[in-house]
Structure 1
Amino acid sequence: MERILVSACLMGLTVRYNGSDKLLISRTLARWRAEHRLVIHCPELAAGLNTPRLPAEIRGGNAEQVLKGEAKIIESNGDDVTQHYVLAAWLALRAAQEAQCRFALLTDGSPTCGSRQIYDGHFSGEKIAGNGVAAALLRQHGIEVFNEAQLDELIQRVAEADK
């Protein structure tokens, strides 16, 4: 039975930067939760960041460059919080590996969990194609990452893997 790392905010926990959730309602997620397949995790909280916290965006490159120390994650007040977010990524990977997750369902747009889109690094509200640092690191280690809009694809992949 496959296990899935899931962003805590998608499960209704109020852990997003602004103190909100991003609840994703699905019968399949409810069933998976009852079957103890879900590893509910907030990388930012695991790394010691507070809720609420200032918005943060990747600047000067992409998630892979952040992980290599070649780009930064900056809060809206200009503070460099790169190390907190890199730690968050590694803690997400550890949680996934310890639970033997082959899949992750993460919140898109986040500098940590974004798997298709992130914000442009200028706090303009504009999104660009890209990954957050946790999504990038999980993928580097062979974990398939999906966002909330890809739930049907994840359900299909898990069903295939369960066979």
Structure 2
Amino acid sequence: MRPILVSSCLLGLKTRYDGTDNYSQAVVDFIKNNQLTPIPVCPEQLAGLSTPRPKCWFSIGDGDSVLDASGKLIDEHGEDLTSVFLHGARECLKIVEMTNCKHAILQQRSPSCGSQSIYLNEKLVQGVGITTAMLKKSGIKVFSDDNLPAKKT
């Protein structure tokens, strides 16, 4: 069975910022039907943030911008957490390398995991999270529960 990195909240683990999950039967079925081994991760927890934790969003740019040193991510109290989220992304990349993952399914709209949309100043916009940006830059194909591939990965 081939490994695939998966946002732990999509698998039913209560790792979201508010202590809940984003369980996705479609993701679980995709993993099972394609005989994949899920490698659950939560970049925020890997960075040392607690659960629950304050809401976070980009105040400038998105994940690609952060990797280019022009983006910024803050929490709802205005604290700059850019370096913390970068640390979580790096930890995920270490896991990808250890497990030889080539694909990931990550939670849409997350400041770490968003693959098509993120929050910029509390408004939903097109963009990618920090972990997604780092994984894509490293050649990992990233999907969300909104855009699972039709064919086997």
Superposition TM-score, scaled by structure 2 size: 0.92
The Cα of 1:22 is off from its aligned counterpart by 0.1
Task: Confirm whether residue 28 of structure 1 aligns to residue 30 of structure 2.
Answer: yes
Counterparts of 2:40 and 2:71, CA distance in 1:
28
Counterparts of 1:119 and 1:60, CA distance in 2:
10
Higher-Rg structure is 1
- Give 2:5's aligned residue: 5
Cα RMSD after superposing both structures: 1.6
| Letter of the 2:30 counterpart | T
User: For 1:20-73, what per-residue CA distance to the aligned partner results, in whole angstroms no more than 9, with x for missing partners?
Assistant: 1000114333456xx561111111111100001111111222212212322211
Task: Confirm whether residue 156 of structure 1 aligns to residue 131 of structure 2.
Answer: no
Q: Deviating runs (4+, > 6 A) in structure 1?
A: none
**SS of match in other structure, 1:150:** coil
User: For 1:81-127, what per-residue CA distance to the aligned partner results, in whole angstroms no more than 9, with x for missing partners?
Assistant: 1111000111111111110001000000011000000012x22xx31
Contact 2:31 2:37 in 1 (8 A): no
The Cα of 1:130 is off from its aligned counterpart by 0.4
Given candidates 127, 132, 142, the residue that maps to 2:129 is: 132
**Higher-helix-fraction structure:** 1
| Letter of the 1:134 counterpart | T
Percent same amino acid at aligned positions?
Answer: 34
Superposition TM-score, scaled by structure 1 size: 0.86
Counterparts of 2:69 and 2:144, CA distance in 1:
25
Aligned 1:32-111 pairs, distance under 5 A: 37-111=37-111
Instruction: Flag structure 2 segments of 5+ consecutive residues without an equivalent.
Output: none
